[in-house]
Structure 1
């Protein structure tokens, strides 16, 4: 069940996309957890037919999971991650156009609008009836499916993976004889996770089938041989957007942006070329590092107009592109600092022959940068100094912190208190005696990264909710609402000169506010991506 801030944001998204009745059904599930249909009808107060229609809409758009329990039978649960991904729909359509063209972007937009569709339905809704248009859209569908930007919608995609994981873990634990040890429990969880992942991969194998191509033999022979030549998209399979594949491009753009901010545009170009080499093999943002590649492959991804020498200083004027790339890779891999701190600040791992982009290292550094930025904004440079000390050294008591950061104890004590109030730092009790008397207890301060990231993420969801509320308030203003209603008239929509000067000024001011709110929403959502998608709330952080 989602927390309060996440639940309110999900309800707001569903209401803006599907209306208030569907939002009330989602709100009941988000606030009370998974529920059967009978309880959902009683809580919402709607007619059973209305609730069923809302459930069908949410299931069609992959926003509800099914589960079957012994107590309540079939129950429903909101897929929170799928709901929050709806904030990125505009960016996904833009990415599809950049990668495959206008036709692909129209297909992706249509699939996002309908949740899941079959290829014949896509062609019908796009109005493709002539041969040329059908060929263009069919090729675009094939490109999207073959590169996994569209994936088949299977039965497993409508079942909560948490229930499957719990079931498989229970089955594995029953195979353990006697009282299970910690190692056996961990191995059972790993086997269950691998089994769930294998089932998902097998279920998503459908969607493409080999096309049978008939080729005539010699004239003397009347027999024809059938050769399996190429794959075609199956018309009976429903396809949905594969958000993991689109998220890869968001992650790669953030990594290139970080390299440009730290070094220069030349280093960013080399890193971008390295990411393009293995872009087709990247399947998920959960990957630790990219596949190995050679310097020659990176050279092929750069054009002749890319000037790499501007960011480097050489003794000779003529330097090959390969030499420049090797120097940039040395910078990006922190070759001049072969220490744990240098490896933690690197972007790639570079040996004599192979290069790999370190996604996990860069993601951990991005999350830490967000944590330090929030601390600096709320508590100043002194708060960042204490935070970095605890991140680098671990648990420390108040006197040690005061001594190392060179601040008076009377200043450190209240600063630690406000940092703890914001969940940026936490305390660990170490009692001297068994009675746990506070006077005989050590209190050590440390940074609980999972807790800190969770609290920051909740605040970001609250900010996104407030942005949506502000946008709605701007639209519902009396003056703006009247002008917007007038602009929707058929005569005014064709000729906006029918609007008065005051009305055009009101409309221009409203559009400027909407643009600023959209830019703010994109920036906040980018921070959400760093904290949530790159590392699952920092669970893998040390």
Structure 2
């Protein structure tokens, strides 16, 4: 069951994509948790046929999980992450166009519209048999599958991973004789997680099959040539993780440009490009190893690295410039914990790694500091950094170390605590836990702070979409939009009056600003939510 803000934004997304009845079914599941079909019909107050059709639509688009319960039979649950990811569909299509051209973007867009399809269905929609573009789309589909931008949709992908993990843990615990120890319970959880990961990896390998071709040359021994081809009997869906990797890499590149200059950002982009084929998910702590030579080979042709750094040589080689930038990105001149926490790459001999966990930690910490600065000024940021670096500190120490007057520290700490940016820990001096005989220590509860910020961001996304809908449903705007949809006006907008064109221009400007704002808020959600699975904390 989701919180109120998350449920509102998910319901709004489903309503805009699938309509009112489907959003009613989704809203019922979001607000009441997992339900069986009879319960869903009763709480949604819809006809069974309508509920069944809505469930089929949501399952087709991977938004609904279904599992079998011993008490209630088959139950349904909303996949919240899948629903929120629909806000990035436009960016996914754009990324596919950048890497695979219009054919690849068309395939990705079609799969996003239909949820999952088989290769023959994809080809029938985009390039019917016998058309000139059939070969182009077939090649683009093969590239998307082999590059893991598309993945097979199996029965396991429609079952909640939490249910499978609980079931596997119960099986592993049943193998333990007697009363299990803490170590044995931990090993059972690790074994269940490993089993779940192996099943997911094996399920994603069924998208390709081996094709055997006999040689046409007559010979006593027939020569067989094997090649991987896309299996036409498998349903494919878009692999969001692979596209999210590119979004993360863009954020990393922008962070390097902001911290240093364009030259450092280009070198880091080349390092990410050199290891791009091995980047599968956002859960990777660091990239695979690469070398300075590989990074130099992946630099852009028109790079201007010389203008961003000063060396003794007048005409330094590219490899020399790359090594200098890598040393700067790795903070080689600052071999302290602070230098390591600020680094982008690391060295192990001649091998170079991009540190995803360290960078993601820094990005999330920067978001937390930005929110604190906006609400509480520079003093609030100073207190936040102090607590992040020092841990639990009492009020007097905060005043002394942050160099803020005691009369100003107490209201500042109270205001930040009210917004869950910081938390308080009570340490009793005696067993009676008298409030007058206690130590009160301030610290940053990272999971709580990020959770509250995410709730506020979801509320902002909901308000943005409500504002969009309100702007569109305004009487004057709605009349102009309906007129523009007429066949004669759509072919010649000169049929609109001057006032109507002005109204349309102002509406498009407002919608564009709201769309840009929505993209920025969603980017912050990506940093706090999607990149949070890499590192355990912001420290």
- Short-chain TM bin: over 0.9
User: Is 2:209 the counterpart of 1:209?
Assistant: yes
Deviation at 1:185, TM superposition (A): 2.2
2-side partners of 1:539 and 1:460: how far apart? 21
2-side partners of 1:389 and 1:224: how far apart? 74
- Partner of 1:458 in structure 2? 455
CA contact (8 A) 1:428 1:445 kept: yes
CA contact (8 A) 1:165 1:196 kept: yes
Task: Describe the superposition over 1:195-224 as per-residue Cα deviations: whole angstroms up to 9, x where unpaired.
Answer: 101111111110111111111345xx4663
CA contact (8 A) 1:266 1:311 kept: yes
Instruction: Map 1:492-507 to 2 at 5 A.
Output: 492-507=489-504
CA contact (8 A) 2:360 2:534 kept: no
CA contact (8 A) 1:450 1:539 kept: no
- Partner of 2:33 in structure 1? 33
2-side partners of 1:177 and 1:535: how far apart? 37
- Partner of 2:86 in structure 1? 86
Gap change, CA 1:351 and 1:323, over 3 Å in 2: farther
- Partner of 1:133 in structure 2? 133
1-side partners of 2:449 and 2:217: how far apart? 70
- Partner of 2:53 in structure 1? 53
CA contact (8 A) 1:531 1:538 kept: no
Task: Describe the superposition over 1:381-427 as per-residue Cα deviations: whole angstroms up to 9, x where unpaired.
Answer: 11111100000000011111111112222211111111111000011
SS at match of 1:525: helix
1-side partners of 2:537 and 2:162: how far apart? 19
- Partner of 1:324 in structure 2? 321
CA contact (8 A) 1:294 1:355 kept: yes
User: Is 2:270 the counterpart of 1:287?
Assistant: no
- Partner of 1:16 in structure 2? 16
User: Is 2:426 the counterpart of 1:426?
Assistant: no
Task: Describe the superposition over 1:264-321 as per-residue Cα deviations: whole angstroms up to 9, x where unpaired.
Answer: 0000000000000010011101100000001111111113421211001123311111
Instruction: Map 1:306-321 to 2 at 5 A.
Output: 306-321=303-318
1-side partners of 2:354 and 2:347: how far apart? 9
Task: Describe the superposition over 1:7-52 as per-residue Cα deviations: whole angstroms up to 9, x where unpaired.
Answer: 1000000000000100000000000000000010011111100100
- Partner of 1:76 in structure 2? 76
User: Is 2:185 the counterpart of 1:188?
Assistant: no
Task: Describe the superposition over 1:361-383 as per-residue Cα deviations: whole angstroms up to 9, x where unpaired.
Answer: 00000000000000000111111
For structure 1, which segment, 304-313 or 26-35, has the greater mean C-alpha deviation from structure 2 after superposition?
304-313
1-side partners of 2:123 and 2:211: how far apart? 20
SS at match of 2:108: helix
Instruction: Map 1:332-347 to 2 at 5 A.
Output: 332-347=329-344
Instruction: Map 1:223-372 to 2 at 5 A.
Output: 224-228=222-226, 230-372=227-369
- Partner of 1:3 in structure 2? 3
Deviation at 1:128, TM superposition (A): 2.7
1-side partners of 2:369 and 2:67: how far apart? 40
For structure 1, which segment, 62-71 or 528-537, has the greater mean C-alpha deviation from structure 2 after superposition?
528-537
SS at match of 2:214: strand
Deviation at 1:537, TM superposition (A): 9.1
- Partner of 1:149 in structure 2? 149
Instruction: Normalising by structure 2, report the TM-score.
Output: 0.98
Deviation at 1:432, TM superposition (A): 1.4
Q: Which runs of 5+ in 2 are unaligned?
A: none
Gap change, CA 1:380 and 1:32, over 3 Å in 2: same
2-side partners of 1:54 and 1:143: how far apart? 33
Instruction: Map 1:346-425 to 2 at 5 A.
Output: 346-425=343-422
Task: Describe the superposition over 1:56-85 as per-residue Cα deviations: whole angstroms up to 9, x where unpaired.
Answer: 000000000011111111000000000000
SS at match of 2:176: coil
1-side partners of 2:213 and 2:107: how far apart? 27
Instruction: Normalising by structure 1, report the TM-score.
Output: 0.98
SS at match of 2:278: coil
2-side partners of 1:128 and 1:103: how far apart? 14
1-side partners of 2:257 and 2:355: how far apart? 16
CA contact (8 A) 2:365 2:538 kept: no
Gap change, CA 1:473 and 1:7, over 3 Å in 2: same
Q: Kindly tell me the number of residue pairs found equivalent between the two proteins.
A: 539
CA contact (8 A) 1:295 1:325 kept: yes
2-side partners of 1:366 and 1:431: how far apart? 36
2-side partners of 1:396 and 1:465: how far apart? 37
CA contact (8 A) 2:127 2:134 kept: no
CA contact (8 A) 2:285 2:534 kept: no
For structure 1, which segment, 246-255 or 188-197, has the greater mean C-alpha deviation from structure 2 after superposition?
188-197
SS at match of 1:336: coil
CA contact (8 A) 2:35 2:76 kept: yes
2-side partners of 1:408 and 1:429: how far apart? 23
Q: Which runs of 5+ in 1 are unaligned?
A: none
User: Is 2:116 the counterpart of 1:116?
Assistant: yes
CA contact (8 A) 1:430 1:443 kept: yes
For structure 1, which segment, 169-178 or 442-451, has the greater mean C-alpha deviation from structure 2 after superposition?
169-178
